[in-house]
Amino acid sequence: MTQETLTRGESTRMEIIQAAHSLFVQQGYHGTSMRQIAQRAGIALGGLYNHFSSKEEVFRQVFIAYHPYHWVIPALLESSGTTVEEFVRGAVFRIWESMKDQPGFLNLMFIEIVEFKSAHIGELYENLMPQVMQIIQRLVQSGSDQLRPIHPLMLIRLFIGSFLGYYLTEAAFASVAPPEFSEGALDQYIDVLLHGILKPKTD
């Protein structure tokens, strides 16, 4: 839906979500009030409550609207390769390119996990799982004779968990770590993801 086709109410909701996102990222959840959100969005406090019943509901909409799946899923669906390594390498680089300029994502994730005990992630999980399974099937098809017999859900968990670890450590330490911390790091990450940290047995 383009800005031109939005109704006045939809446009106001979008402005509220944008304002709240900025404040949550800058100040945290508890450091942000509904009054501040209304002021940032340029509306009266009562007008804000006409659209959202509570601050938690505002955060829920912010979390869904700014979750990286909006750009990560298309990036993964566009990834291609004739082997598992080509597919994974292309997928990781596409995800990194789409996420490296989204530092606010970590702030929202910490709020979601710490403050809400991942209450809103379940909704995303249900909506995204069909697309994620489609991606896993493509991965398996690109190298059915190369992959160990790992359950698809464990593949998803390993991939997401290891990438989030890479993303988090890059955001936390890259600015203070020596150059070696980041130089060629994505290639090394992919190599370890595919082959582990143990040397292959030579016997």
- Residue 172 makes CB contacts below 8 A (sequence gap 6+) with none
Does pLDDT of 48 surpass 90? Answer: yes
- Name the CA dihedral angle for 196, 122, 60, 94, rounded to a multiple of 10 degrees: 30
Handedness of CA 40, 34, 48, 111 (dihedral sign): positive
Does pLDDT of 1 surpass 50? Answer: no
> How far apart are the C-alpha atoms of 6 and 189, rounded to whole Å?
42
Tell me the CA end-to-end span of the chain in Å, nearest whole number: 60
Query: Could you read off the pLDDT of 55-99 as tens digits, one per residue?
Result: 999 999 999 999 888 777 877 777 777 788 888 888 888 888 878
Task: Report DSSP letters for 31-60, one per residue.
Answer: T--HHHHHHHHTS-HHHHHHH-SSHHHHHH
State residue 136's pLDDT score: 82
State residue 112's pLDDT score: 93
